[in-house]
Amino acid sequence: MKTLQNIRKKIKSVRGNSLAEFAITAAMMATMATVAAPKFAGMGDTAKRNQTIQNLNAIGKIANQFFQDTSNPESNTNSMAEGQGRLPGQESYDEGIGGYTKLTEIWDPMAKVGAITNFKKWTDAEGLKWRSVYGMRHADTETYNYQFSDDEDNTKYGPKEFGQYMAEKGTPIKSPYDQGHYIYVVIPGGQAEIWQDEENSWYFDDECSECGPVLVLADAFNPSKFFMVKSFQ
């Protein structure tokens, strides 16, 4: 056991970055991909792109507030406090939502590749691994063949918990695109993905109890362009 701990300490001491630190980079890259859209796009398209980026940021802030509300056991006014922060739909901070267990499966900020780079349309099969932020009852399922679904794996229903923070009662944040819909996955906390510069590879630590979950949000209109990565500690 001591030998294993020493190895882990040695690997962690190598100069590198965790994916929590790379989260901002991933978000920036998504935004840059959006900004780099063809110049001939109409002003209406530009407005939609800007709006969906703003909406993703707004949902990210909601998730952050939810995480804070569930992680502060000392607040006498906070009835949601559970002592360990989690995200909407999570049973606990170290449980995942959706079909991924590592963030690098979705987006590798070093290689700039991952499953999300091929997820370009709401009908793509990759959507089977994603869950609706506000629930499929708000999606036009009769018109569009959405591949994602509600989060029905857990007793803590994600869309309901996101819905507690709606700006107006019963009104979710809606994509500016007719086919758009906000979807998400949660990478479980309790683990770390650390880039080792000297080895030029990722090191995965599955026993990082202080590491929080990672949220990936996207607009299903084109997740490869419109996505955001947010890490929680």
Region for 170 from its dihedrals, namely left if φ exceeds 0, alpha if ψ lies in -120 to 50, beta otherwise = left
Q: Is residue 131 part of a domain?
A: yes
Name the token pair of 77: 């006014």
Instruction: Going residue by residue through the chain, which has 233 residues, state the pLDDT in tens, using 9 for 90 and above.
Output: 433 344 334 334 333 455 555 554 444 444 333 333 444 344 478 999 999 999 999 999 999 999 999 987 665 445 565 668 899 999 999 999 999 999 999 999 888 899 999 999 999 999 999 999 999 999 999 999 999 999 887 789 999 999 988 876 668 999 999 999 999 999 999 999 988 988 889 999 998 988 999 999 999 999 999 999 999 98
- Predicted local confidence at residue 166, as pLDDT: 83
Q: What is the pTM of this model?
A: 0.81
Edge to edge, what strands does the sheet with 214-219 contain? 131-132, 182-187, 214-219, 227-231
Identify the domain containing residue 160 by its residue range: 16-231
Name the token pair of 166: 């709606």
Check if the beta carbon of residue 227 is closer than 8 Å to that of residue 30. Answer: yes
**Domain count along the chain:** 1
Q: Is residue 144 part of a domain?
A: yes
Give the three-state DSSP class for 119.
Answer: coil
Q: Is residue 6 part of a domain?
A: no
Burial level of 12, CB count in 10 A (0-12/13-18/19+)? middle
Residue 18: beta bridge partners?
Answer: 194
- Predicted local confidence at residue 109, as pLDDT: 86
Q: Is residue 40 part of a domain?
A: yes
Handedness of CA 46, 58, 18, 99 (dihedral sign): negative
Q: Which of 35, 55, 60, 58 is nearest to 175 (CA)?
A: 55
- Predicted local confidence at residue 93, as pLDDT: 93
Q: Is residue 10 part of a domain?
A: no
Q: Is residue 7 part of a domain?
A: no
Q: Is residue 20 part of a domain?
A: yes
- Predicted local confidence at residue 91, as pLDDT: 92
- Predicted local confidence at residue 159, as pLDDT: 94
**Pairing mode of beta strands 16-18, 201-205:** unpaired
Helices (H), 96-192: 103-106, 158-163
- Predicted local confidence at residue 171, as pLDDT: 83
Q: Which of 39, 54, 29 is nearest to 225 (CA)?
A: 29
The Cα 51–Cα 45 span in angstroms is 10
Q: Is residue 9 part of a domain?
A: no
